[in-house]
Structure 1
Amino acid sequence: MATETNLTTNLTTPAPGGGCPPVGIQLEGLIMPPILIVDVTLGFLGNIVALWIFCFRLKSWNPNALFLFNLVIADFLALVSLPLRIDALLRQHWVFGDGMCRINLFLMFSNRSASIALMTVVAIYRYMKVVHPHHRFNQMTKRQAAVVSVFVWMLVIGPRVPMLAYSHIKGSGDKTQCFFFTSYKEASRAIIILVSMHRILTVLEFIIPMAMLLFCSIRISSFLKKRQMGKPGKVRKAMRMCAAIVAVFIVCFLPTTVTTIGVWVIKSFRPWDCDAFYTFTQLTIVSLGLNFLNSALDPVVYVFSSSMFRKALLAAMPSALRCRRDGGEKTASSSGSQSTTEQELKSIRGSEAI
């Protein structure tokens, strides 16, 4: 095993022939395992409940429910791949072979793309329902929604398929590691192009959907306020879905986007700065732990974005909790008649039926 002095030299000094040496398991070996264990535990619990609601408690399906169900599937694909990553980090050694390494990385990065794309579709669907209720987009059938879902999966998986064609095993013997971007020195031109494409996708698939989410949120808020539909509390309630998705985006996907841009800048303008390259690469790998936190937070999105899911979840709750909630709603409804604008807002929500 290399001494601390040699390790520092290797990480901060360009390797002979140019480029920086591969990055080993250092910072992420300490930080990632507990983060990923929390992600897997909460993610499986929340998504198993969500899957049970969708499969056995939801009486009818509509396009929004179908989009959310696809989001559950995307989360499960990521969650089943994380235990292998946790094992490798704890061992500081990948023992599952080249094939599983390719599949593991493919599932990890496909989940990020699929989660972002599907949450964006859900936000756009809500935006059209509220702001353009008479648009023919809102007449989408379940079959058409299934076609949209398949298109989304093809769109996000297509650019990731080339990852399966190349080995991402670093090192040899009992020190092999499964990383996608740790060094370019030993990489072929195809790998360099593949990693560059990955970084471009990582940035674009955050910036473009985030801009669309902010647009949808602002338009929904201004539309409801302009129509004066309900009290401020009603408007805030209508905004919770967009706010929940924006919050998940910022917490889970912004750090990876920032660190990826940092690595990109260093590789382009300071290729000799191996210390900075090492630091940002480690931070990028660590930030992946936040990417998978979305699998644990997505059930919150289901609650805020689908009244059908919310009602099914409440119906599945213990009777004591249901009675307490129902009692509060009855008290609130008996304390005066609704105004015309409140009825109009309720009508719009009913038309959403999502």
Structure 2
Amino acid sequence: MNDSQINCTGGPMLQELQHQVYAVVYSIILAPGLLGNVLALWVFRIYVRETKRAVVFMMNLAVADLLQVLSLPLRIYYYLNNYWPFGHPLCLFSFYLKYVNMYASIYFLVLISVRRCQLTVNPLMYKARPKGDIFMSVFGWLLVCVICIAFPLVREKSEKPGECFSELPTKKIGVATASFLIILAELLGFIIPLVVVVSCSILTISSLKEVTTEGVHDFGEKHRALKTVLSCTLVFLLCFAPYHITMPLDFLVKAGALEDCATRNMIQRCHIITLCLASLNCTLDPIMYYFTSDEFRRRLGKPEMPDNLSRRLSCLTTQEGVQTSK
């Protein structure tokens, strides 16, 4: 905590409130987030074979959410005990992992929206390319991991032992550097994804007005695609938009650029809420899979054997029948 934060009379009370809220929220989302994303990966990996419907991207989104959930126990421990005993390197890594998971989730929400919109607007022009989806997924993970290195780099070790996460002091950097980092995070992590997701929603809604020769089936497929795109948009607006509104303001507070205590406290209180909302996506995404994917809901409600296993068992049964008749 820097000098300006100490001089703010609401600083200690605000930190106590922050720790209490984070501990409660993270504890609430830990179990459903873990169960929902493990279950999603199981369904996508074993039962869902139609990669043309953005399943590869959904699997990567579930991985990003699962990594976020797995990092929560350390955060819960810190916020409950107000002390970090695991060393500064692990603190920075956990701090870094939070941003990697968040921006990876944003990246794959955008890809899911684009894919479903693409299949709806130009279904005949699109051909399933699983290898292309895998390449885009690997590229996205590498891009996010590289860009998010900036977040731990602007923090330094606290002089007070046992402090971590939001209590890590911000390094004194120039105005130009700080402005560049904020603009880059807002542009790549919020503005461009927001434009893409909203555009996909508009295009998908417009496609529902078009009448095709495939009639009811075509309309049903478009309607399912619309549910997926709108769900991605809703998760994005609910979880990530509020955070990216308060993030640059909170950065200015931690950098000591704002001196008024009332303004600082208001921004930090709002940032507590928006960070909790950003963490909720790991529990909302499995709900999105269930209500927008017929395959996910059907096979989760009544598990089926994979097609290849079913064919093998059928062949074995046929062979045994032939041998018995002989």
Same fold (TM over 0.5): yes
2:142 match? 154
Alpha-carbon spacing, 1:267–1:88, altered in 2? closer, same or farther (3 Å): closer
The residue number in structure 2 matching 1:82 is 72
Aligned 8 A contact 2:156 2:168 in 1: no
User: Do 2:4 and 2:256's aligned partners in 1 also have CA atoms closer than 8 Å?
Assistant: no
Normalised to the residue count of structure 2, the TM-score between the two structures is 0.78
Give 1:202 shift.
Answer: 4.4
**Pairwise CA RMSD of aligned residues?**
3.5
SS state of the match for residue 26, structure 1?
helix
Q: Does 2:104 match 1:139? A: no
How far did 1:297 drift?
0.8
Which residue number corresponds to residue 101 of structure 2?
A: 111
Aligned partner of 1:178: which letter?
A: C
Residue in structure 1 matched with residue 7 of structure 2 by the alignment:
10
From 160, 164, 173, the equivalent of 1:172 is 160
Counterpart of 1:18?
Answer: none
Relative distance call for 1:314 and 1:272 in structure 2 (3 A) is same
Q: Is the 8 A contact 1:78 1:107 kept in 2?
A: yes
Distance 2:180 2:73 in 1: 27
State whether residues 246 and 271 of structure 2, in contact with CA within 8 Å, keep that contact through their aligned partners in structure 1: yes
State the alpha-carbon separation in 1 of the partners of residues 4 and 202 from structure 2: 50
Is structure 2 residue 223 aligned with structure 1 residue 226?
Answer: no
Q: Match for 1:34 among 18, 24, 29?
A: 24
Letter in 2 for 1:36: Y
Partner of 2:194: 210
Paired residues of 1:112 and 1:291 also in contact (CA < 8 A): yes
Unaligned runs of 5+ in 2: 305-326
- Give the whole-Å Cα distance in 1 for the aligned partners of 2:163 and 2:174: 20
Q: Deviation per CA, 1:270-302: give whole Å up to 9, x if none.
A: 733243224313432442221121001111232
Of the three residues 86, 93, 100, the one matched with 1:96 is 86
- Identity over the aligned pairs, expressed in percent? 27
Distance in 2 separating the partners of 1:249 and 1:59: 26
1:276 paired residue number = 263
CA distance in 2 between counterparts of 1:34 and 1:308 reads 34
- What TM-score results when the alignment is normalised by the length of structure 1? 0.72
Question: How many residue pairs align between the two structures?
Answer: 298
Please say if residues 203 and 261 of structure 1, whose CA atoms lie closer than 8 Å, have aligned partners that are also in contact.
no
Q: Structure 1: any 5+ residue segments left out of the alignment?
A: 1-5, 14-20, 318-354
CA deviations over 1:179-238 (Å, ceiling 9, x no partner): 257654xx243899479625741464122212211111111111111327559x956554
Q: Which amino acid aligns with 2:240?
A: F
Residues 245-278 of structure 1, C-alpha deviations (whole Å, 9 max, x = no match): 1111122112211212433677899733243224
Structure possessing the higher relative contact order (Cα contacts under 8 Å, 6 or more residues apart): 1
- Worse-superposed segment, 274-283 or 39-48: 274-283
Residue by residue, what CA displacement relative to the aligned partner does 1:42-101 show, whole Å, maximum 9, x if unpaired? 101111111221233335644611111111111111111111111111111222211111
In 2: Cα distance, 1:297 partner to 1:31 partner: 19
Q: Say if 1:281 and 1:60 are closer, same or farther in 2 by CA, change over 3 A.
A: same
Q: Which amino acid aligns with 2:246?
A: T
Q: How does 1:237-316 map to 2 (within 5 A)?
A: 237-263=224-250, 271-316=258-303
Secondary structure in 1 matching 2:15:
coil
SS at match of 2:123: coil
